[in-house]
Structures are given as structure tokens and as C-alpha cells.
């Protein structure tokens, strides 16, 4: 029989995942064996007759189940990016088994007693800062996952966790299926004649991929976003907008009942653990500490920005009416008219900018960005196997030639990939028995594809998104330390967006833009005049966009900071949450929660506020770069030393103070948006 490549040492460069050998059918049997080995590792810790020590208990626990950790890192990343019927079935069958293993560890009284014994002796142990933090986090993790519960409550907690895992999996699957189920197929050339060439080319390519004539538009963001922005066909735009905003409300892929189930399970779990709400439980370990702090933050920010948001919308409404539009702007109208107004007000638009942001040039530019600030070098290695032909892999080294890790890029949409953009990793940093294993980082997006006539040209927003995700990637690649649970992006949820969002500031810096942004046909460097327009338009719709993000955070908190499941249906509940912050008409029968992957399946439950929270941090932190030079190597080294390399060895507020020399300025974001 053929050896399972997931259970053997990879012969690929740097021990990278052997995607040239791994088949979808390999994961299920590999998990079966890895789970047994992981349980054996845990049992060995329990059965060790020696007195519990940091090394034989805490450190051993951190590295237990090495095969399971390796396979999980690969499987879950690939299942998000390139799923299949086999992988989806594996995920469903695996979910209860992984939950059972988690409960086997965290609810094991014998194991917890050993952890507790070491924890109670912590003051007398000669531990490094990193070791002390691992001990503290390990003990708290057991306590927060039910180790102190009675046997009866442990059984209930285990059952709830399994149900919650399955519900989250179903939620995410429904979104992907609902997204793929809708297409707008156009065969009348007159309907698309007004659209920019790049939009028509994209739609034509999507149609050909399906064996269709004409043009095909989908609910993937590059497609629907372009149609809403450039088409004047209100009827078709309304159809697409409604399709997108009623995804998973009723029908074959209904998520409304799934949401209610998830909310109920989260409340029950939190109550078992002694918390009033899931929000109290989730936020306890973050910078914010309490839901009250989060709600105060969101409401305060809403109060300061809602007037500006309503002025933004009124301005677009006035412009549309002055240019022949009759009646009130609807959500499916806003993108079109705001784009036209931006073009007229600032003489800038998406189509004008795209030729300067050819993907290969942008990619080279973000590599140069990392080289100037952190001394990193990136070299494509075609010998490293990849899981899809679109994916490219790069070796990353520092200025001294030290291997820092691998970086994988997966840029374009496909039916097997979920929407959005994200960073994850196949392997996190660790040092065990003196051997350092550097991280394997992946960055996944859904950017506009190249066509038969043009290369991949990014919108300015897509360029910003790539630099954002690259920030997460740098957080992983520049990690230092021994323990995976403390390194890289393993930090507080409301701190993890600082390294990514701070990168977005460079997209408005002329020094950076003129170093790479050249017209893909003429080679012309992006003109200073155009950069000035980008900068002038930086805060265009800032109030509107800020309020929209705050709304998302409030919807998240509405579902996760409640003592019981709302009695209203999902749509009505969301409508009530939005009532005080209306900027655009609310459309009956629509809601974002049924397709809000971040908070019901993506790890951001009671954490979506993190984006705005971290925006305050990064607006403040970037001021240090701005004052000293945006490519000042000394400041870059400080940011790497105090933030990017430290993981969660220290609390997030300490890391920020170490870099800035003070606490965050709470008005930094308001000042940057020009609203103070």
C-alpha cells in the first residue's frame, strides 16, 4: 500500500507540505492515526510517575500531538481555499472527533491536576518570561474550557462544544453553496456595453469557464462589486444586491435557524463556565477585557461619526438628484453614484487607477516594502509543491541569509474557495529539542483575475487588502520564540489587526507609490497629480464607511452579548440593531448575519469590534513612522522587535507601550479621518 504523505516526513524543500503527493482521500485516514497518537501523547503525560514539572507537563503538553497539529494546519487551510466534496465530507466527519479530542484534553481531571500542581508552584520555579507566560496561559485555557466543572457539567460542556462545532461548519458550508448557486447570465451585449473593458473581460472569462456565451456575474466580490459600481441597469443591480443580501435566508441554504442554534449553544457554554454571556467569556482575554468596554468604544465612535456618515450619504443623494436621478437612493444605487461623485470631485475612479496596479508589480512592491523596513528577501521556489496551479510559493530570508519561512500566495476566486481575504499558516513557529521549525504562511484573496487581453489589474482597494494581509503574513514570518501558542499571530483578537492595518497607511504615501506604480501598458510612473488625488480622496465617505464597520461590530455584539437568544426572527433582530444608525434605507427581508462568516464560523465572535479597535492603535502607531520617515529602518526594527516578533509573550497593552512609550491616543483615528 502507498504510504500516506501526511504521516511521513516531507521530502519537499524545507519540509513543506507535499501537495504533489497528498490526495483529498489521504486526510481522513491520516487524522484517524494522528488522533490516536495525540491521545497517546496526552496519556503519556498523565502516566508519567515523576512529579509534575514545567518540562514534563506544560512543555510536553504544548508539543503533544505533533502529527495532528501538522495535518490540521494543512487540512483546514486547504479546505477554505480549495475544497471538494471529499474534503467537505471529511470536515463534517472530523468535527465531532476533533471536539472529542479537545474535551479529552481539557476536561481530563488527571491532566488538569498536573497542570494545576505546576501552576501553584509558579512563584518558586526559575522560568523565563516566555515559559511563565506559557504556564499561565495553559492553566487559564484549562479553566476557560471547563476543567473546573463537575463531571455532569463536563459531559454537558462536551456535548455543547460538539454541537457548536457542527453548527459552525454547516453555517460556513451554506454560505459557500448559496454564493455559488446564484449567477447573473447576460447575453444581450447592449446591457454590458457601458461597463469598463476589464469588467466585461472578467465576466466573459467567467462565462467561458462555465461553457456559456456572453457574460456571467456572480456573488464573488470582484464580480458583484464591479457590476453594482458601473452598471446603470437598476433592475439587474437590485436583483444582484437582493440575492447577495438574502443569501442563506430561507431556501436550501438557510442559516437563520443555524444562527439561533449557535447563539443558544454559545450562551449555554458561557453559563456553564460561570459567565453571564458569551461576550463576557470571549472578551475577558483581550485588550478590551469586558463587553462594556467594547460597547462604550463602539457607541462613542458611533456618536462621533454618525453625523459625518449621514452627511456623506446626503451629499451623494444631492449629487445623484442633480444628475438626473429621481427619488431616494437605494443600497444598490450607492456604489454607482458614489463612484461617479468621487470621479467628479477628485477626478479619480477605480478604472483610472487599475492600470497602475498590475498584480506582479504590486507583489514586487510589497516584497520591497518588507525589505526596506525589515530586511526580508523573497525568492520564488517552483520546487515547492502547491495545492492549486494558481498558488505560488516563496522562500523568505533575512538580510543575513537566515531562513525565516515560506510564503504562499493564492490570489484568484474559484468556486472551491470561500470569499474574502485572509492569512493563515500550514505551520507555526516552534523550537523543540533545539530544532527550530520556521513558519509556512499563506495569504489568500479573491482578486480580479487576468483575462485573455489584460494581466491581473488590482483596484486600489484590492491593493490595500493585499498590503493588509501581508501585514498578517509578516507577523507570522517575523515571529520569534519556542512555543506556537505564543508566537506570530497568536495574540489577542483585538490586537492581531494592528500589524495588518498599519500597513494600509503606506498606500497613501507618494514615496512608496512612485517606487512601483507604473502603467502596465506605457510604463508611465503614476503621476504626482494622481497621487495627490488619491490622498485628497483618502477620507472620502470616511464617516459612512466607519459607521458601516461599527454597525457590523454592533450586530456581532447583539448576537454574542445577550443573556438569552433573541425572541425575534433574525431579520427583525438585525433591523432593530441598525435602527439608531440608519444611513441608507433598510430593505425588508434582508440581513447580513446569515452570511456574516466572521462571527458565526470565522473566529471573530464578539470580536468584530477588533478592526476599529486596532485602527485606533495603528493610526497612533503609524505617527511614529510618519515623524521619522516611512521607511526608517530604525523604526522598522523597533516595530519588529516590540510588536511583530513578540507574539503574546507579553500582554498587548505592554507591547504597544514598549513601541510607543505610552498608552494609545484614543482620538488618533478620529484625527486621521479629519473629524476631530
Q: 400-450: per-residue pLDDT in tens? A: 999 999 999 999 999 999 989 999 999 999 999 999 999 999 999 999 889
How many whole angstroms separate alpha carbon 602 and alpha carbon 366? 26
How many whole angstroms separate alpha carbon 140 and alpha carbon 160? 20
- Tell me the backbone φ, ψ of residue 222, rounded to 5 degrees: -60, -30
Give residue 179's pLDDT: 95
Query: Assign residue 566 a region: left if phi > 0, alpha if psi is -120 to 50, beta otherwise?
Result: beta
Cβ–Cβ under 8 Å, residues 414 and 424: no
Does the pLDDT of residue 182 top 70, yes or no?
yes
Confidence class of residue 675 from pLDDT cuts 50, 70 and 90?
A: confident
- Tell me the backbone φ, ψ of residue 379, rounded to 5 degrees: -130, 120
Q: Considering the chain, what percentage of its residues have pLDDT values greater than 90?
A: 96
Taking CA 548 as the corner, what is the angle to CA 544 and CA 549, rounded to the nearest 5 degrees?
Answer: 120
Q: What's the chain's length in residues?
A: 676
Start-end of H helices in 432-569: 460-477, 498-501, 510-513, 528-536, 542-560
The pTM (predicted TM-score) of the whole model is 0.90
Which is nearest to 58 in space by CA: 104, 120, 103, 100?
A: 120
pLDDT digits (tens, 9 = 90+) for 37-48: 999 999 999 999
Cβ–Cβ under 8 Å, residues 562 and 263: yes
All three cell numbers of 69? 497539529
Does the pLDDT of residue 451 top 90, yes or no?
no
Q: Considering the chain, what percentage of its residues have pLDDT values greater than 70?
A: 100
pLDDT digits (tens, 9 = 90+) for 604-639: 999 999 999 999 999 999 999 999 999 999 999 999
pLDDT digits (tens, 9 = 90+) for 343-367: 999 998 888 999 999 999 999 999 9
Cβ–Cβ under 8 Å, residues 439 and 477: yes
Strands (E) located in 392-450: 392-397, 403-410, 422-427, 430-432, 435-437, 440-444
Is residue 656 helix, strand or coil? helix
| CATH architecture type of domain 13-106+108-148 | Up-down Bundle (1.20)
Confidence class of residue 1 from pLDDT cuts 50, 70 and 90?
A: low
3-state helix, strand, coil in the chain (%, to 5): 60, 5, 35
List, as one string, the DSSP characters of 18-47: -TTT--GGGHHHHHHHHHHHHHHHHHHHHH
Residue 624: partners with Cβ closer than 8 Å, 6 or more residues away: 635, 659, 660
**Residue 615: HSE in the Cβ half-sphere, 13 Å Cα cutoff:** 19
Give residue 81's pLDDT: 97
Does the pLDDT of residue 249 top 70, yes or no?
yes
- Tell me the backbone φ, ψ of residue 644, rounded to 5 degrees: -65, -35
Side-by-side strand order, sheet with 392-397: 377-380, 392-397, 403-410, 440-444, 422-427
How many whole angstroms separate alpha carbon 670 and alpha carbon 481? 36
Q: Angle at which helices 151-181 and 256-272 pack, to 10 degrees? A: 160
How many whole angstroms separate alpha carbon 547 and alpha carbon 309? 7
All three cell numbers of 604? 471573530
All three cell numbers of 71? 495535518
DSSP conformational letter for 15: G
**Residue 56: HSE in the Cβ half-sphere, 13 Å Cα cutoff:** 13
pLDDT digits (tens, 9 = 90+) for 530-555: 999 999 999 999 999 999 999 999 99
Report residue 190 CA to chain centroid gap.
Answer: 39
List, as one string, the DSSP characters of 200-254: HHHHHHHHHHTT-SSEEEESSHHHHHHHHHH---HHHHHHHHHHHHTTTSSSTT-
How many whole angstroms separate alpha carbon 202 and alpha carbon 222? 9
pLDDT digits (tens, 9 = 90+) for 146-172: 999 999 999 999 999 999 999 999 999
CB atoms within 10 A of CB 495: 23
Which region among 17-26, 286-295, 665-674 has the lowest average model confidence (pLDDT)? Answer: 665-674
Which is nearest to 140 in space by CA: 119, 113, 111, 156?
A: 119
Q: Per-domain residue ranges for the chain?
A: 13-106+108-148, 182-245, 355-541+611-672
The DSSP H or E segment spanning 298 is helix 291-322
Third-level CATH fold of 355-541+611-672: 1.10.1370
Residue 23: partners with Cβ closer than 8 Å, 6 or more residues away: none
Is residue 406 helix, strand or coil? strand
| Residues belonging to the active site | 469
The DSSP H or E segment spanning 660 is helix 652-660
How many whole angstroms separate alpha carbon 241 and alpha carbon 316? 19
**Residue 460: HSE in the Cβ half-sphere, 13 Å Cα cutoff:** 20
Does the pLDDT of residue 602 top 90, yes or no?
no
Q: Which residues partner with 358 through β-bridges? A: 457
How many whole angstroms separate alpha carbon 470 and alpha carbon 365? 11
DSSP conformational letter for 594: G
How many whole angstroms separate alpha carbon 284 and alpha carbon 279? 8
How many whole angstroms separate alpha carbon 320 and alpha carbon 335? 11
Q: Buried (b) or exposed (e) across 28-53, using 16+ Cβ within 10 A? A: bebbeebbeebbebbeebeeeeeebb
CA distances from 589 to 118, 243, 248, 261 (A): 55, 11, 11, 20
pLDDT digits (tens, 9 = 90+) for 286-326: 999 999 999 999 999 999 999 999 999 999 999 999 999 99
- Tell me the backbone φ, ψ of residue 115, rounded to 5 degrees: -60, -45
Residue 233: partners with Cβ closer than 8 Å, 6 or more residues away: 191
Q: In the predicted model, what is the mean pLDDT of residues 507-518?
A: 97
List, as one string, the DSSP characters of 143-195: HHTTTTS-HHHHHHHHHHHHHHHHHHHHHHHHHHHHHHH-EEEE--HHHHTTS
Which is nearest to 410 in space by CA: 44, 6, 83, 11?
A: 83
Mean pLDDT, the chain, whole residue set: 96
Amino acid at each position: 500500500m502507498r504510504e500516506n504523505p501526511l504521516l511521513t516526513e516531507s521530502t519537499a524543500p524545507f519540509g513543506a507540505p507535499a501537495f504533489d503527493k497528498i490526495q483529498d482521500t489521504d486526510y481522513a485516514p491520516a487524522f484517524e492515526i494522528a488522533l490516536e497518537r495525540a491521545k497517546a501523547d496526552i496519556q503519556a503525560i498523565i502516566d508519567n510517575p515523576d512529579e509534575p514539572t514545567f518540562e514534563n507537563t506544560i512543555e510536553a503538553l504544548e508539543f503533544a500531538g505533533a502529527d495532528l497539529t501538522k495535518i490540521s494546519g494543512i487540512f483546514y487551510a486547504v479546505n477554505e481555499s480549495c475544497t471538494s466534496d471529499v474534503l467537505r465530507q471529511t470536515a463534517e466527519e472530523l468535527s465531532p472527533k476533533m471536539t472529542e479530542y479537545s474535551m479529552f484534553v481539557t476536561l481530563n481531571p488527571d491532566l488538569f491536576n498536573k497542570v494545576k500542581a505546576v501552576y501553584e508552584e509558579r512563584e518558586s520555579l526559575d522560568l523565563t518570561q516566555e515559559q511563565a507566560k506559557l504556564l499561565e496561559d495553559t492553566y487559564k485555557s484549562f479553566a476557560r474550557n471547563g476543567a473546573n466543572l463537575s463531571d455532569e457539567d463536563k459531559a454537558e460542556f462536551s456535548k455543547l462544544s460538539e454541537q457548536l462545532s457542527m453548527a459552525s461548519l454547516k453555517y460556513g458550508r451554506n454560505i459557500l453553496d448559496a454564493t455559488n448557486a446564484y449567477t447573473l447570465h447576460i447575453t444581450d451585449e447592449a446591457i454590458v456595453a457601458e461597463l469598463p473593458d476589464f469588467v466585461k473581460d472578467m465576466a466573459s472569462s467567467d462565462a467561458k469557464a462555465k461553457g456559456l456565451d456572453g457574460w456571467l456575474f456572480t456573488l464573488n466580490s470582484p464580480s458583484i462589486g464591479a457590476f453594482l459600481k458601473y452598471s446603470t441597469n437598476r433592475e439587474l443591480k437590485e436583483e444582484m444586491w437582493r440575492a447577495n443580501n438574502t443569501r442563506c435566508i430561507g431556501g436550501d441554504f438557510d442559516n437563520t435557524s443555524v444562527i439561533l442554534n449557535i447563539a443558544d449553544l454559545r450562551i449555554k457554554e458561557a453559563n456553564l463556565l460561570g459567565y453571564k454571556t458569551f461576550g463576557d467569556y470571549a472578551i475577558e482575554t483581550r485588550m478590551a477585557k469586558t463587553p462594556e468596554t467594547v460597547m462604550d468604544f463602539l457607541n462613542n465612535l458611533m456618536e462621533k461619526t454618525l453625523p459625518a456618515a449621514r452627511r456623506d450619504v446626503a451629499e451623494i443623494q444631492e449629487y445623484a438628484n442633480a444628475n438626473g436621478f429621481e427619488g431616494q437612493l437605494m443600497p444598490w444605487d450607492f456604489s454607482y453614484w458614489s463612484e461617479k461623485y468621487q470621479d467628479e470631485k477628485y477626478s479619480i475612479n477605480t478604472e483610472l487607477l487599475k492600470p497602475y496596479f498590475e498584480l506582479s508589480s504590486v507583489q514586487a512592491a510589497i516584497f520591497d516594502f518588507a525589505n526596506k523596513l525589515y530586511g526580508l528577501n523573497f525568492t520564488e521556489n517552483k520546487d515547492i509543491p502547491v495545492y492549486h496551479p494558481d498558488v505560488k510559493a516563496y522562500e523568505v530570508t533575512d538580510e543575513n541569509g537566515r531562513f525565516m519561512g515560506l510564503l504562499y500566495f493564492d490570489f484568484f476566486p474559484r468556486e472551491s474557495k470561500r470569499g474574502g481575504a485572509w492569512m493563515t499558516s500550514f505551520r507555526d513557529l516552534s523550537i523543540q529539542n533545539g530544532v527550530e521549525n520556521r513558519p509556512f504562511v499563506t495569504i489568500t484573496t479573491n482578486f480580479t483575475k487576468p483575462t485573455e487581453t489584460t494581466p491581473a489589474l488590482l483596484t486600489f482597494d484590492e491593493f490595500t487588502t493585499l498590503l493588509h494581509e501581508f501585514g498578517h503574513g509578516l507577523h507570522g514570518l517575523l515571529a520569534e520564540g519556542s512555543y506556537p501558542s505564543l508566537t506570530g499571530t497568536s495574540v489577542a483578537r483585538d490586537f492581531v489587526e494592528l500589524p495588518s492595518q498599519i500597513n494600509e497607511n503606506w498606500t497613501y504615501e507618494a514615496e512608496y507609490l512612485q517606487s512601483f506604480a507604473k502603467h502596465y501598458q506605457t510604463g508611465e510612473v503614476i503621476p504626482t497629480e494622481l497621487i495627490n488625488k488619491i490622498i485628497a480622496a483618502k477620507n472620502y465617505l470616511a464617516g459612512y464607511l466607519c459607521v458601516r464597520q461599527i454597525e457590523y461590530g454592533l450586530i456581532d455584539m447583539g448576537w454574542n452579548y445577550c443573556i438569552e437568544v433573541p425572541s425575534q426572527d433574525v431579520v427583525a433582530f438585525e433591523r432593530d440593531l441598525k435602527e439608531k444608525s440608519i444611513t441608507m434605507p433598510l430593505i425588508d427581508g434582508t440581513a447580513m448575519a446569515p452570511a456574516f462568516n466572521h462571527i458565526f464560523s470565522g473566529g471573530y465572535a464578539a470580536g468584530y469590534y477588533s478592526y476599529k479597535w486596532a485602527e485606533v492603535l495603528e493610526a497612533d502607531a503609524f505617527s511614529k513612522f510618519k515623524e521619522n520617515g516611512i521607511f526608517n529602518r530604525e523604526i522598522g526594527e523597533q516595530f519588529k522587535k516590540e510588536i511583530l516578533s513578540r507574539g503574546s509573550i507579553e500582554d498587548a497593552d505592554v507591547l504597544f507601550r514598549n513601541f510607543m512609550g505610552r498608552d494609545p491616543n484614543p482620538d488618533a483615528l478620529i484625527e486621521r479621518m479629519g473629524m476631530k
